[in-house]
Amino acid sequence: DAGITQSPRHKVTETGTPVTLRCHQTENHRYMYWYRQDPGHGLRLIHYSYGVKDTDKGEVSDGYSVSRSKTEDFLLTLESATSSQTSVYFCAISDGTSVTYEQYFGPGTRLTVT
């Protein structure tokens, strides 16, 4: 199994508070991704990173920011959490630029915003 961990695994927070989710990998893969999973929508890309300090927006990036200061860590921040950001968040990693490279996923973080 790919070495990907996410912390915390579960979090309940109040509307308006900042939240940071952490993804940590031990595979030295170049690419890291943050997705959210909601019923009826599958997985939607929030942000991704293609190297240290190199990030780009995905389909649903509004309200989220990311940072990657080290190869192994990719942080997702909700600056001011809203109830619409209640979701399951997955981190994924991938190596290489070829379309042949699959993604490996972390275990997920269940976030509830009350």
Partner 1 sequence: AQKITQTQPGMFVQEKEAVTLDCTYDTSDQSYGLFWYKQPSSGEMIFLIYQGSYDEQNATEGRYSLNFQKARKSANLVISASQLGDSAMYFCAMRATNTGNQFYFGTGTSLTVIP
Query: C-beta of 52: minimal distance to partner 1 in Å?
Result: 15
Of the candidates 62, 93, 56, 102, the residue with the CA atom closest to the CA atom of residue 79: 62
Cα gap 88→13, rounded to integer Å: 14
| Site track 32-71 with partner 1 (rule: CB under 8 A), x = hit | -x-x----xxxxxx--x-x-----x-x-------------
- Bridge partners, 4 (sequence order): 25
Q: Footprint of partner 1 on this chain (CB under 8 A)?
A: 31, 33, 35, 40-45, 48, 50, 56, 58, 88, 90, 92, 94, 97-105, 107-108
